[in-house]
Amino acid sequence: MGWAVRVLESLRSPVDLQQLPADRLPGLAAEIRAFLVEKVSATGGHLGPNLGVVELTIALHRVFTSPRDALLFDTGHQSYVHKILTGRAHQFDTLRKQGGLSGYPSRSESVHDWIENSHASTSLSYADGLAKAWELTGELGRRHVVAVIGDGALTGGMAWEALNNIAGSDRQVIIVVNDNGRSYSPTIGGLARHLTTLRTTGGYEKFLHWGKQVLHRTPVVGDGLYGALHGMKKGVKDMVAPQGMFEDLGLKYIGPIDGHDEAALEHAFTLAKAFPGPVIVHALTHKGHGYAPAEQDEAEKFHGIGVIDPDTGMPLANSGPTWTSAFAEQMQALGAADPNLVAITAAMLGPTGLESFARTFPARTFDVGIAEQHAATSAAGLAMGGMHPVVALYATFLNRGYDQVLMDCALHKLPVTFALDRAGITGDDGASHNGVWDLSLMGTIPGIAVAAPRDGQVLAHVLAQAVAVADHPTVVRYPKGPLPAPIPAIRHDHGADVLFSHGDADVLIVSVGAMATMAMEAAAMLVAHGFGVRVIDPLWVIPISQAVIDHARQVSLVAVIEDGIVAGGIGAQVMSQLHLAQITVPVRSFGVRDGFMAHAKRADLLIEQGLSAQQISRALAEDLSRNASGTENAVDRAVADPS
């Protein structure tokens, strides 16, 4: 599908946009949408959120001057339009590819990108701190801090902690609420109900018409301007929000504004820019706006897509069973068998596979919004009341709830199960979305048990075991993507599955979860070089089982293959347990080295980290040969360096 470049090709920076006549802006918005559909359908990425903020982002860059003014995008799902308007349109063929354009804001990519962590509910805290810094240096007032946050991200507790600080000061912070009624799933909770009232009250359409007229009539000067702003806020409060939640917090409120009316948005942002204190601009947008397949997608509005046909919106690759679908199927079966099984999601019913469970057991499904800390402690309360909660999260987001897992679940010895999707190296979404910290973090929590299934059948087995536990928390972690072919055990020995055994084992390979296929390939390569090899899968990798210790007594080298960080990972924990058992066999740990990985395909990142079968087998063959020849003392080795 082609698209005719007219206005867009002339834009190299926000300055060019600011000089563009207003009558060219509707055409520009249409061009940007066509551009996004063509480019993102070819690479995959966050299409729906960006289609929904085209006019909003144009208006922001027309009123504020980036990077002198700081535009802070919460989560970053909606930053593609910002990238286009800041001179990066020519790079969109490389979106989410190794060495190419990041799918999120990236400080190394552009001076226009201030933050990049892509975890929700953080932008207001960044904004609060930056405004304080600029106040101390005399910059605030000459420079503006603008935080763009979605209604879904506002359900996160961290956002309200920041709002409390922002509202308690007279520092100018401009908060733009991009309200599309959805995060991944439809936004829920008390805040959502308040915003829904603003969207659906009978007087709203009348207000929009009235508000637009007022904005267009209001001169952008002096004290009279804020008088109009204040009057508008009072009008909204009287018509649709009698309790004035935002005003009660001490925040001046403009809105709701039609988020697809660029002129109205410009006027609202200009009003906010002129006011010397904290202001909320409430913009109503439609996720997927202007693209029929996204608008018709009631589930997620094309939040995140793979490669699709741009005309139909249909995936170009047939999708078979995935780790997520295997989890979903087993949750359905377990829920039918146990009326005390409940499910918790943090605004991600669909992405975590809980949608079917929610349809079947709606009263036993709880969406807490983007609030992982609350999810964990709420689960603790459910467990105290006799339920067995399963908290389904992406592995990277469990980082945010570590204290709650430790102090609220484990300390109380409560039967809460955390199902961690996207564990390990995920790749395309970059540093913040790789789920590589969970094994190290969970290894520090007393009494917790962590399972890492190697295939769909084992996932079903360990999940059933996890929800049967009555006296401590459990974790089941599994990666992103299609299910591998089942890997049968040749026997169950010493409490672990033996997956491969050839000759008198020189090396024991401990395979962690989905790394089993790679472990088997590396074992076959070692056998071809004349070494004896045994591969075991302990299934439950934390705490380190007696099975691993017993098998380690029989070999001259232990290798642990995991796709978590090596610092404090399973390899390090195996080494510690062997030391306590006074077993002197050396341990070589293959995992993710320290540092943040750039976005790239999972396969490329595995090679970069030395985690291919060839790299592993070569490193182990060299170790075994050196040990056999006596040229190197057998010493514990925590980190592999296959290069």
What is the spatial distance between Cα 144 and Cα 490, in angstroms, rounded to a whole number? 65
CA 527 to chain centre: 40
In 3D space, the residue among 219, 229, 215, 273 whose CA is nearest the CA of residue 63 turns out to be 273
Using a 10 angstrom Cβ sphere, with 0-12 exposed, 13-18 middle and 19 or more buried, the burial of residue 521 is middle
In 3D space, the residue among 61, 58, 1 whose CA is nearest the CA of residue 26 turns out to be 58
Q: Reply yes or no on whether 400 is catalytic.
A: yes
Show Cβ contacts of residue 477 under 8 Å, excluding neighbours closer than 6 positions: 395, 420, 423, 424, 435, 438, 439, 450, 451, 452, 513
Give the active site residue among 97, 182, 400, 588. Answer: 400
CB burial of 220-234 (b: ≥16 within 10 Å; e: otherwise) equals eeeeebbebbeebbe
146 forms bridges with which residues in the sheet?
Answer: 71, 174
Show Cβ contacts of residue 382 under 8 Å, excluding neighbours closer than 6 positions: 342, 344, 389, 416
421 and 392 in contact (C-beta within 8 Å)?
Answer: yes
Give the active site residue among 372, 480, 534, 562. Answer: 372
Residue given tokens 């409120």 in the structure block? 253
* Number of C-beta neighbours around residue 473 at 10 A: 31
* Number of C-beta neighbours around residue 38 at 10 A: 14
| The two three-digit tokens of residue 456, written as one number | 């769909």
In 3D space, the residue among 481, 479, 482 whose CA is nearest the CA of residue 512 turns out to be 479
Q: Reply yes or no on whether 287 is catalytic.
A: yes
Residue given tokens 């030391």 in the structure block? 579
Q: Residue 163 phi/psi, 5° resolution?
A: -60, -35
Cα first-last separation, the chain: 44
Instruction: Give whole-number Cα distances, 412 to 380, 416, 479, in Å.
Output: 8, 11, 29
Give the active site residue among 287, 301, 422, 454. Answer: 287
Residue given tokens 């929009």 in the structure block? 208
In 3D space, the residue among 227, 225, 235, 290 whose CA is nearest the CA of residue 257 turns out to be 235
DSSP code at position 92: G
Identify each DSSP E strand in 240-387 by its residue range: 252-258, 279-284, 341-345, 365-367
Peptide bond preceding 67 in cis form (omega within 30 of 0):
yes
DSSP code at position 549: H
Peptide bond preceding 543 in cis form (omega within 30 of 0):
yes
68 and 141 in contact (C-beta within 8 Å)?
Answer: no
Q: Catalytic site residues?
A: 287, 372, 400
